[in-house]
């Protein structure tokens, strides 16, 4: 007959307790030593890092204050003499004098277009900082929100100088002030402040820092001790600086730990007396012994309440089963039966797993049904009846959306603003799945309402949508949008491309081409975004093809992308076919290229053929787009 747990008591409990205690004491002694030594190393490394970081901070504060003060001076001069004075040679002469009298190596004044209008170096005047990849990073100072920006040393295209630049915005001017410092000047100032920092910093109670030159002469030290003397350690300082090791040395007749850090032509040496380090070891040992003793006492109390042998084995067995079940193996069975309690526990675990499998199956069926309903709902909110406007013969259009998951973030829309204006919309929400689909529904609705409000002013329509979506964008999503409003009577198209793919157009039966023209940032990416509008004309028989990146970025099994050229080849396969067939040619080409690979992204397309009237066109390699 099986026994209860209370009757299964191991005779070896006391032996196990004593053995565990001895092992614990040995491990404690080893751990305390390793912990204390690692703490000393970490403390010295941290102290060296702090000296360098504080020094760098002081250098940064110095140059920051310098740049800001001169930017304020320039702003005051422009306020007094007018912004036109930014181009006056006198200002450049004053900047030259400033370079001669200050630590700056170069001073430049740049207008709101990014053009250098005044400089201490005449070679810089007229230079467009857009042309220099490094200097163009300072264009952030023109956005009205950023007032200060720093770039590390780089060689400029303007004059070939290697400088570190600091830029300060000048709001009254709409531009900025750049101040550059060369590496030699920067190094001199850094070394000066490093010496000051070493002089006033201390390592613990009795430790200190030394700053030596290349010959080992101490040029600065904590409270000036040993300055002018030569530091001669037993170990090679350069090797210590490179390896970062902390070693024990006899420094000025005191046994100490030392750490070395190279900074330019100088060495920073941290000296920590061994006596003080042992104090830390003693404290650490006492703390760890107290901790281990407390843990051991707790373990002993727990072990008195546990059974040994079969109980431990049973716990491990059931724990292993639970881990495999937790990892996803729901076919695992708990089968440890040495006592009544373990019988009940095993049966309880197995019942729980069977119940869990049933709940998972129910949840999967419910989720599948809800996703199917969501996909059906999403498809229903997009226009899907074709021909869309059977009473209109000025155009023929077709659109389709194929989500990568059950629901997607792509969408299209088309609707009549009035009798003579047709709106076309193509959008792609960042991300996939249900969050993207919900954001898509919101974006589509706001775009339609905004277009009905603003009509042909597509820039204002998109700007309003951007403002509204930013207020309701807790998930930090954004959407690329191509919005066009076609004047049916004339073929004139006003459009905004907000981060979307460039459309393809076939004019007068000629091959489809992709023209890259007006392009803005995506909607809901930034609050203050200017959405530039563009315009072009559609003539009789011209075909416009809109698409999302699910077409061009579709992958084959090797990871290659379908690309724009393959899309154009598919579009040009039969340009005389119906719109639905032209679109089908592209989708067939994408499917053949993918060769069964998982769909990369939502695939959405919209194609329209304009037949409103014949207009004269200038035929060139690409059609002419004109801005409004």
CB 608 within 8 A of CB 547: no
Q: Where are the domains of the chain?
A: 1-306, 310-364, 382-610
Indicate the DSSP class of residue 105.
S
The pLDDT value recorded for residue 288 is: 67
Residue 603 token pair: 């695939």
Query: For residue 526, how many C-alpha atoms fall within 13 Å in the half-sphere facing its CB?
Result: 11
CA-atom Rg of the chain in angstroms? 37
Q: Is the pLDDT of residue 8 over 70?
A: no
The pLDDT value recorded for residue 628 is: 41
∠ CA 359-360-362, nearest 5°, is 65
CA distance 361 to 354: 11
CB 409 within 8 A of CB 602: yes
Q: Which residue has the higher pLDDT, 362 or 562?
A: 562
Q: In this structure, which topology does domain 1-306 adopt according to CATH? A: Beta-Lactamase (3.30.450)
Q: Which residue has the higher pLDDT, 335 or 398?
A: 398
CATH code for the domain defined by 382-610:
3.60.40.10
pLDDT tens-digit map of 288-330: 678 777 876 777 666 666 555 556 556 666 667 777 777 777 7
pTM, 2 dp: 0.45
**Residues sharing a CB contact under 8 Å with residue 320, sequence separation 6 or more, in sequence order:** none
Q: How many residues does this entry show for the chain?
A: 628
pLDDT tens-digit map of 250-277: 888 788 888 888 887 788 888 888 877 7
The pLDDT value recorded for residue 465 is: 95
CA distance 474 to 173: 36
Confidence of residue 476 (pLDDT cuts 50, 70, 90): confident
CA distance 254 to 73: 54
User: Token match 């204006």: residue?
Assistant: 421
Indicate the helix (H) or strand (E) that contains 80. Answer: helix 13-81
Residue 10 token pair: 């191991």
pLDDT tens-digit map of 70-128: 999 999 999 999 989 999 999 999 999 988 887 689 999 999 999 999 999 999 999 99
């Amino acid at each position: 007959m099986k026994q209860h747990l209370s009757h299964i008591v191991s005779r070896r409990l006391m032996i196990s307790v004593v053995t565990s205690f001895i092992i614990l004491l040995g491990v404690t002694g080893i751990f305390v030593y390793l912990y204390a030594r690692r703490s000393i190393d970490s403390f010295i490394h941290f102290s060296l890092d702090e000296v360098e970081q504080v020094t760098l901070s002081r250098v940064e504060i110095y140059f920051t204050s310098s740049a800001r003060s001169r930017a304020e001076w320039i702003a005051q001069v422009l306020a007094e003499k007018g912004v036109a004075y930014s181009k006056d040679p006198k200002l450049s002469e004053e900047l030259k004098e400033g370079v001669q009298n200050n630590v700056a190596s170069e001073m430049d004044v740049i207008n709101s277009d990014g053009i250098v209008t005044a400089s201490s170096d005449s070679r810089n005047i007229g230079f467009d900082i857009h042309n220099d990849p490094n200097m163009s990073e300072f264009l952030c100072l023109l956005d009205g929100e950023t007032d200060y920006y720093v770039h590390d040393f780089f060689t400029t295209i303007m004059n070939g100088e290697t400088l570190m630049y600091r830029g300060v915005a000048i709001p009254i001017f709409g531009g900025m002030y750049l101040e550059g410092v060369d590496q030699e000047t920067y190094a001199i100032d850094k070394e000066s402040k490093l010496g000051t920092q070493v002089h006033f910093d201390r390592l613990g109670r009795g430790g200190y820092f030394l700053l030596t030159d290349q010959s080992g002469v101490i040029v600065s030290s904590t409270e000036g001790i040993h300055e002018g003397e030569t530091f001669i350690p037993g170990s090679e300082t350069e090797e210590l600086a490179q390896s970062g090791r902390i070693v024990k040395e006899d420094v000025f007749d005191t046994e100490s730990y030392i750490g070395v850090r190279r900074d330019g032509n100088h060495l920073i040496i941290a000296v920590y007396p061994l006596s003080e380090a042992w104090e830390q070891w003693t404290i650490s040992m006492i703390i760890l012994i107290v901790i281990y003793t407390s843990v051991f006492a707790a373990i002993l109390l727990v072990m008195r309440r546990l059974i040994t042998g079969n109980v431990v084995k049973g716990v491990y067995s059931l724990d292993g089963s639970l881990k495999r079940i937790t990892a996803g193996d729901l076919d695992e069975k708990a089968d440890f039966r040495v006592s009544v309690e373990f019988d009940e526990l095993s049966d309880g675990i197995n019942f729980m797993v069977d119940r869990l499998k049933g709940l998972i199956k129910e949840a999967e069926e419910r989720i599948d049904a809800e996703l199917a309903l969501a996909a059906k709902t999403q498809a229903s909110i997009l226009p899907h009846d074709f021909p869309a406007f059977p009473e209109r013969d000025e155009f023929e259009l077709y659109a389709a959306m194929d989500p990568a998951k059950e629901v997607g973030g792509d969408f299209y829309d088309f609707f009549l603003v009035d009798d003579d204006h047709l709106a076309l919309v193509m959008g792609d929400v960042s991300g996939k799945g249900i969050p993207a689909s919900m954001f898509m529904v919101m974006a589509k609705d706001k775009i339609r309402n905004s277009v009905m409000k603003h009509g042909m002013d597509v820039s204002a329509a998109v700007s309003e949508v951007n403002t509204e979506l930013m207020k309701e964008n807790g998930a930090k999503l954004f959407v690329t949008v191509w919005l066009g409003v076609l004047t049916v009577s004339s073929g004139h198209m006003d459009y905004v491309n907000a981060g979307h793919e460039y459309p393809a157009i076939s004019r007068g039966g000629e091959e489809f081409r992709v023209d890259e023209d007006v392009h803005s940032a995506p909607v809901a990416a930034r609050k203050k975004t200017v959405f530039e509008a563009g315009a072009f004309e559609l003539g009789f028989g011209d075909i416009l093809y809109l698409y999302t990146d699910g077409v061009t970025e579709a992958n084959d099994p090797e990871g290659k992308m379908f690309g724009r050229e393959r899309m154009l080849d598919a579009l040009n396969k039969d340009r005389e076919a119906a719109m639905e067939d032209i679109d089908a040619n592209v989708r067939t080409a994408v499917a053949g290229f993918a060769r069964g690979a998982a769909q990369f992204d939502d695939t959405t397309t919209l194609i329209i053929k304009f037949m409103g009237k014949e207009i004269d066109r200038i035929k060139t390699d690409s059609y002419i787009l004109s801005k409004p």
